[in-house]
Amino acid sequence: MSESRLYSFSPETKEKLRKFRLGTSRAKDPQAIIYIIDNKSQEIRPEDGEVYTKMEDLADELPESSPRFILLSYPLTLASGRLTVPYVMLYYLPVNCNPNARMMYAGAVELMRNTAEVNRVIEVHEEEDITSIESKLQSAD
Q: Are 92 and 70 in contact (CB under 8 A)?
A: yes
> Which stretches of the chain drop beneath a pLDDT of 50?
1-4, 141
C-alpha 106/C-alpha 123 separation (Å) is: 11
Of residues 84, 78, 87, 139, the one with CA closest to residue 116 = 87
Q: Total structural domains in the chain?
A: 1
The answer to whether the CB of 88 falls within 8 A of the CB of 116 is no
List the beta bridge partners of residue 68. 92
Convert the pLDDT of each residue in 96-112 to its tens digit: 998 999 999 999 999 99
Domain assignment present for residue 5? The answer is no
Q: Is 127 a domain residue?
A: yes
The residue type of 23 is: G
Residue type at 26 in one-letter notation: R
Residue span of the structural domain in which 104 resides = 11-139
Q: What is the pLDDT of residue 1?
A: 41
State the pLDDT at residue 25. 80
Sorted by sequence, the CB contacts under 8 Å of residue 80 that are 6+ apart come out as none
- Check which CATH number belongs to the domain holding 48 and give it: 3.40.20.10
Q: Please report the pLDDT score of residue 20 as a whole number.
A: 94
